[in-house]
Structures are given as C-alpha cells and as structure tokens.
Copies of this chain bind each other. A is one copy, B any other.
Amino acid sequence: MMTADYIAIQTSDSNSPESINFLNLIRSAHRTPRQDSPEAWELTSFVDGAGRFNLVHIGYWRDPNKHAAWILGAPLGKWFTSLDARHANFGAWRETIQVPVDRLETIVSKEGWSFGLANCPMIEMRLTTTNGYFGAARDRFPLSAIDRLEAPSPHRRRATPALSLGRRLRAECGHNTAVIRSGQHWASSLGEQLVDYESSLQPKLMAGMDHLSRNQETEGVLSLRVMTNHDLETFASVQQTSVLAYFNSLEPLEKWAESHATHAAIYEHAIDKQREFGADRQVVTWHEVFIVTRNSNFEYVNCHADTGILPFAQTLMAVDDAN
C-alpha cells in the first residue's frame, strides 16, 4: 500500500496567525524526525476558488504501518485529529490516498529526477518506452492489464452545498476515482528556457486548468487545485508547481488529454521543447496517478462547502454528530 496524505489548513492568508502556527508545527515536526515520519514530504500552498489560502503538508509513505502510526502519534496527525470544528477560527482538511502498487503510475520527463511518492527512499525510476502516445498512462498501471478501471457511477454535484462550517465532515468518493498530481519544476531553467516556460508553457497549462475548473461536471472533475511548492527549510515559495486533481475515473482524464484543445496546446509545446532541447531541457515535468477504491479518507474541519471533494462527494458523514 502506497500512501499520500495531504494535511492542510485553510485561512485568510499566508500571514494569518493560524498559517504561522501551522508552519511552526511542521518545522518542529521535521526537526525531530520519528521512525514513522513520512519518507518524503512537501509543503505547498494555493488560494482556492473561494479566495481562501490553503497551506498543505504532503507526506508520502511506502509503509502503511508507519503512516498509521504517524497519524496517531506524531504532532501533525494529533493536531488534526484533536481540532474542535465548532470553535476553530480556521478550516483544516485531510485527504489520504492509499493504494496497492498496481493502482498507481508515475513518470518524469528527465532522467535523474524524481518527485512526489518517487522521492521516497528505495524507489527507483527506470527508463520507459510506455509513453508518448494516448493511452500510455493507462498502460503504465499494472492493474490495467486485467481491469478497465471504470467507475460504476458518476460523481454528481450535490443539489445543495454541504453544511460544512463548524463541523467535521467525512466525504466518500466512489470506486476507481482517479487522483492525479501533475508537476512542473522550472527552478533550474535559465534564459531562453525560463522565458519559454513562464511566457508560453505555463500560460497554456493554466488555460487547461482553468477550462477543467470551469467545467467540472462535463469534464468529470471533482476537485482541482494548482499548488505552489515551498522550500522545506525557508518555507519560501519556489519555481515549482503541481496540480492536484480528482477525476471521476481515469477515462475523463484521458478524454481531456486526448481531445481537448487546451491539453493539445500543453502537450505539443512540451514535446516540441523536449525535441528542441533534448537532454539539455531544464524544465522538468512529472505526474503521479492513483486509482483509489471507494473510501471515506477525505475529512474537512470547518471548511467552506467548496473545499476538496465536498461538492461532489457520493456520501457525506458528520463525525462530531455521531459521538
């Protein structure tokens, strides 16, 4: 079981006392690593559609036992579990992605680089020829050899927004929901390549994300966040971004990639530059995709109703109210 656990705070802005507290909690947690600490971790942030600032700690584990122990015993896990939704003056959320290894695939554009889950120790990236054609991502899932990875029913937008403020809610996604984290790293790019990324590829990427965000129902998107990475020592933002998106299944993600002009623009530009610069290309792109089974590992504490998969959850559950 491979695990990605997103723990986040949702506040007014990056300078709010709650944001500072959250950063201090992260700083002290990673200063004294535990045996069960994440094997790789990142810090990202983004402003969501409601204008709220979200600061996100991402932890990756190859060992699900360590992950479970960390959530129960480490300060960040305990902090999240002990939040009182009724009296919190900020929002917090946790989304845990956990799959057997045959339900994930990851790829990176440049040899010697790794991101996300692949940053865990003992994970080796190898050269592949299963890329560069439509359907390659699907083919990279070992499970796709015997499973079409279809979702039994679409996630539909809920008729009324979730009553999420002042409450701790769990949201459930359906079988075979696809979770993609797609990343861009241009901190090593200079001159012509830096200009090309910022003035051409990045705007094309953002046009694509904007299209998906504005058409969630028709594109099968449950949630989409464009996150900026932060340096793990200084917490300053860096020239690295990633898009965390949930799709109803792999199929709508493939359909967008195969047929929509916004993806064609991104894809063709990236391939052109890869051809032009070859091994000297400085911009590095990557992604990881997880196909999850039905689960309720999406928890929202005093968050606004458009947070994460809340608007499209197949089932909503109130944690506090049951106790």
Q: Report which A residues bind B (CB closer than 8 A).
A: 1, 63-65, 68-69, 71-73, 98, 100, 147-148, 150, 152-153, 162-163, 167, 169-170, 172, 174-176, 293-297, 315-319, 321-323
- 9 A-B pairs (CB sep. < 8 Å): A1-B293, A170-B170, A170-B322, A295-B295, A295-B296, A296-B296, A315-B319, A316-B323, A318-B322
Give the one of A65, A69, A152 with max B CB within 10 A.
A152
Residue of B nearest to A98 (CB): B293
Interchain CB contact (< 8 A) of A68 among B64, B65, B175, B296 = B175
* With A1-B293, A98-B293, A317-B317 as contacts: A152 and B68 at CB distance below 8 Å: yes
* With A100-B100, A293-B98, A295-B295 as contacts: A174 and B321 at CB distance below 8 Å: no
B176 touches A65 (CB 8 A): yes
A65 touches B148 (CB 8 A): yes
Number of copies: 2
A98: chain B residues within 8 A (beta carbon): 293
Closest chain-B Cβ to A6's Cβ sits at a distance in Å of 16
A169: chain B residues within 8 A (beta carbon): 322
A69: chain B residues within 8 A (beta carbon): 152
Known: A69-B152, A315-B319, A317-B319. 20 other contacts (CB 8 A): A1-B100, A1-B293, A63-B147, A64-B175, A64-B293, A65-B147, A65-B150, A65-B152, A68-B294, A72-B152, A100-B100, A169-B322, A170-B296, A172-B296, A294-B297, A295-B296, A296-B317, A318-B321, A321-B321, A321-B322
A148: chain B residues within 8 A (beta carbon): 65
A293: chain B residues within 8 A (beta carbon): 1, 64, 98
Tell me, in angstroms, the Cα distance from A322 to B315 when the chains sit together. 9
Residue of B nearest to A162 (CB): B322
